[in-house]
Amino acid sequence: MIARRRFRRVSSVLGPTLKWFAALFLIPGSVALYHGTSVWPFLVPLAVAFGLGWALEWVGADSELTVTDGFLLVTL
């Protein structure tokens, strides 16, 4: 029970972080598009990271972090 609550709290922060990380794949993807090379190596991880970030954010909705959860986030 405690682990489930902690997972929800941590996922409420990791989800948006992962979505921002996914957005960074747009930069090399746009460069690849400009040069006429394949963009699939950038679009697939973008979609996976964004989907996982969205799912983590959805799981952790309405959760507040504690000090212990903050230490856990720093180690991740």
| Any domain includes 21 | yes
Q: Is the pTM of this model over 0.75?
A: yes
| Any domain includes 66 | no
Domain that holds residue 46: 2-60
Tally of domains in the chain: 1
| Any domain includes 55 | yes
| Any domain includes 26 | yes
- Which tens digit of pLDDT belongs to each residue from 17-66? 999 999 999 999 999 999 999 999 999 999 999 999 999 989 877 777 77
Assign residue 65 a region (left: φ > 0; alpha: ψ between -120 and 50; beta: otherwise). beta
Q: How high is the pLDDT of residue 55?
A: 94
Q: How high is the pLDDT of residue 68?
A: 79
